[in-house]
Amino acid sequence: MTITESWQGEQLLNNASLKVSLAGLNLTNPTMLASGILGYSAETFETVAQGGAGAIVTKSVALKPSEGYSNPTIVQVRSGLINAMGLPNPGIEEFVKEIRTAKAVLRIPLIVSVYGFSAEEYATAAHKAVAAGADAVELNVSCPHVKETGSEIGQNPDVLTKVVHKVKISVEKPVFVKLTPNVTDIVEIAEAAQKAGADGLTLMNTVKAMAIDVETMMPILANRIGGLSGPAVKPIALRHVFNVYEHVKVPIIGCGGILDWQDAVEFLLAGASAVQIGTAIATVGPTVFQKVTRGIDAYLKRKRIRSVKEIVGLSHRS
Ligand SMILES: Cc1cc2nc3c(=O)[nH]c(=O)nc-3n(C[C@H](O)[C@H](O)[C@H](O)COP(=O)(O)O)c2cc1C
């Protein structure tokens, strides 16, 4: 990161028109790091904050450590990535040390993504994360490639309700629920999450996908099936945000294929109050947050709009 870039980042910190409030969390701008793209270290989170992110979501962490799947776990395809990491994580007991270190230096909200194999496991992981200083939790009920967790929970409104409810009574910080696009009716799931007490919804996790090597004639990923992210999924995510916005009152965080400010503005117009960026970090680097934010700022000025909040859901007017 250059001195000019970090100076411009500081300027953006004080720009009132970009500030967003998300279920009580105050963000200096509407961009956030999406879960899973950059691991668990406090040092990495600090780099992302310097890159201009308004908030950070950690990689998903569970009660017990997991090594995840063997390689290959990621394959690049046209306009995106397919990953099946298998939710590798150090376990919440180990991760609380990073949460404490990160909280000591970060000036932006830290949201810890948690997963589990039962409502109790989600709640215990969330409780420990909040006790260590997390400003909020995001429930990964949407990972498409690990059995008995992730999307197997987020595809069933009854099971999802139990998980969200249990977490809500275990923590006193905002609870965001990250939904899967791999369902027939995402509105039914979104409404169940809201009814169970979700303070916000993240839309969306990856789209179930695969790639085959024509030479070996075998699936490329060790797990065969993974989740597609990146520009290829943006129109799908956008449509889900647009659709869900018409049925829920809680804030929506748009996520899926955001690469530049135009993508982010589309999500805001569709009804997202903030956006998460993941795969684009691999192509643009950690300054993607600052670049997107600067683009949003210039757009608001050109349109003579005073606050980013004013464009949320604007595409729904008839
Ligand atoms: C390598 C990789 C790892 C991911 N790990 C997680 C994870 O641990 N938890 C989670 O909720 N989402 C995870 N995701 C999904 C992203 O957070 C995001 O929902 C998805 O990639 C779509 O956004 P994007 O197109 O900006 O990447 C992962 C995505 C990628 C590419």
What pLDDT sits at residue 7? 45
Pick from 98, 110, 108: nearest CA to 138: 110
What pLDDT sits at residue 2? 56
| Spatial separation of the C-alpha atoms in residues 100 and 91, rounded to whole Å | 15
What's the rounded mean pLDDT across residues 80-107? 95
pLDDT in tens, 299-313: 999 999 999 999 999
Task: Tell which one of 56, 82, 137, 205 to mutate to probe ligand 1, the residue whose CB is within 8 A of the most ligand atoms.
Answer: 205
The answer on pLDDT for 9 being more than 70 is no
| Spatial separation of the C-alpha atoms in residues 177 and 92, rounded to whole Å | 19
Cα 32 to ligand 1 centroid, rounded to whole Å: 12
For residue 266, what are the contacts with CB-CB under 8 A and spacing of at least 6?
A: 234, 238
Cα 90 to ligand 1 centroid, rounded to whole Å: 17
143 belongs to the catalytic site: yes
Paired sense of beta strands 252-255 and 25-27, if any: unpaired
| CA-205 nearest atom, ligand 1 | 19
* Percent of the chain whose pLDDT exceeds 70: 96
Task: Tell which one of 206, 277, 281 to mutate to probe ligand 1, the residue whose CB is within 8 A of the most ligand atoms.
Answer: 206
If you take atom 14 of ligand 1, which residue's CA is the nearest one?
A: 36
Over the range 102-125, which residues count as b (16 or more CB within 10 Å of their CB) and which as e?
beeebebbbbbbbbbbbbebbbbb
Cα 251 to ligand 1 centroid, rounded to whole Å: 20
The answer on pLDDT for 78 being more than 80 is yes
For residue 215, what are the contacts with CB-CB under 8 A and spacing of at least 6?
A: none
Cα 229 to ligand 1 centroid, rounded to whole Å: 7
What's the rounded mean pLDDT across residues 60-69? 95
Write out residues with Cβ below 6 Å of ligand 1.
34-37, 59-60, 74, 81, 83, 85, 87, 113, 140, 143, 178, 205-206, 229-230, 233, 255-258, 277-280
pLDDT in tens, 108-134: 999 999 999 999 999 999 999 999 999
* Percent of the chain whose pLDDT exceeds 90: 89
What pLDDT sits at residue 1? 54
| CA-276 nearest atom, ligand 1 | 26
Cα 216 to ligand 1 centroid, rounded to whole Å: 28
If you take atom 18 of ligand 1, which residue's CA is the nearest one?
A: 205
pLDDT in tens, 143-177: 888 888 888 889 999 999 999 999 999 999 999 99
pTM given for the model: 0.96
Among 33, 126, 143, 244, the one annotated catalytic: 143
pLDDT in tens, 188-238: 999 999 999 999 999 999 999 999 999 999 999 999 999 999 999 999 999
What pLDDT sits at residue 145? 83
